[in-house]
Structure 1
Amino acid sequence: MGKVISYLRDRRDAALIASACVLLIAAAFKPTLPMPRNIYSYILVADISQSMNVIDTNLNGKPTSRIAYTQYMLHHIVANMPCGTHVSIGLFAGASVAALYNPIEVCSNYAAIQDTIDNLDWRTAWSGNSRVRESMLTLARVIRAFPEPAQVVYFTDGEEAPKLHAFNTKDLTNFQGGNGWLFVGVGSEKGSSIPKLDDKNQLIGYWSADSFAMQPGIAQISEANIGVRDNNVASGEGDRYISKLQEDYLKSLSKEVNGDYVRADNLQRILSAMKNQKPARRDIAPYEIQWILASLAGLLFLMAYFPKKPFNALSKWLSRKRIV
Structure 2
Amino acid sequence: MTAGPRFPRRETLRDGRFWLLCATAFLLAVSFALPSFRSKANGVDLLVVVDITGSMNTRDYRENGHPVSRLEHVKASLRSLLPELPCPARVGLAIFTERQPFLLFEPIDVCGAFAPVEGAIAGLDWRMAWEGDSHIAAGLYRAIDIAHDVNADLVFFTDGQEAPPLPASGGPEFTGERGAVKGLIVGTGGFALSPIPKFDDEGREIGFFGVADVPHENRFGPPPADAEQREGYNPRNAPFGSAAATGTEHLSSLREPYLKSLGDKTGLGYIRLEDASALRKAILAEARPHAVERERPLRPFALGLAFILLVALYGAPPLWTLLKRLRADRISTLAIWRKSRA
Q: Rate the CA distance shift 1:240–1:101 in 2: closer, same or farther, 3 A.
A: closer
- Unaligned 5+ runs, structure 2: 1-12, 18-35, 224-246, 309-342
Q: Is the 8 A contact 1:181 1:254 kept in 2?
A: no
Q: Rate the CA distance shift 1:240–1:176 in 2: closer, same or farther, 3 A.
A: closer
Amino acid at match of 2:256: E
2:280 equivalent among 268, 271, 279: 271
Q: Is the 8 A contact 1:150 1:280 kept in 2?
A: no
Specify the SS of the correspondent of 1:184: strand
Q: Is 1:131 aligned to 2:135, yes or no?
A: yes
Residues 153-189 of structure 1 deviation map (CA, whole Å, 9 limit, x = unaligned): 1111111111113445111264467242201111111
Q: Is the 8 A contact 1:140 1:176 kept in 2?
A: no
Q: Is the 8 A contact 1:83 1:286 kept in 2?
A: no
Q: Is 1:73 aligned to 2:54, yes or no?
A: no
In the superposition, the TM-score normalised over structure 2's length comes to 0.65
1:252 equivalent among 253, 261, 264: 261
Q: Is the 8 A contact 2:46 2:152 kept in 1?
A: yes
Specify the SS of the correspondent of 2:274: coil
Superposition misfits of 4+ residues, deviation over 3 angstroms: 1-5, 32-36, 173-177, 283-288
* 1:1-324 paired onto structure 2 within 5 Å: 35-146=39-150, 149-167=151-169, 169-172=171-174, 174-175=176-177, 178-210=180-212, 211-218=214-221, 241-279=250-288, 281-285=290-294
- Unaligned 5+ runs, structure 1: 6-31, 221-237, 298-324
Amino acid at match of 2:217: M
How much does 1:3 deviate?
Answer: 7.5
In the superposition, the TM-score normalised over structure 1's length comes to 0.68
Counting matched residue pairs gives 258
How much does 1:126 deviate?
Answer: 1.1
Q: Is the 8 A contact 1:181 1:257 kept in 2?
A: no
Residues 102-127 of structure 1 deviation map (CA, whole Å, 9 limit, x = unaligned): 11111232111111111111111011
Amino acid at match of 2:275: N
Q: Is the 8 A contact 1:49 1:93 kept in 2?
A: yes
In structure 2, what is the Cα distance between the partners aligned to 1:107 and 1:142?
23
How much does 1:266 deviate?
Answer: 2.3
Percent of residue pairs identical = 28
Question: Which deviates more from structure 2 when the two are superposed, residues 195-204 or residues 55-64?
Answer: 195-204
Q: Is the 8 A contact 2:96 2:102 kept in 1?
A: yes
Larger Rg: 2
How much does 1:239 deviate?
Answer: 8.2
Q: Rate the CA distance shift 1:79–1:174 in 2: closer, same or farther, 3 A.
A: same
Match of 2:28 in 1: none
Amino acid at match of 1:88: G
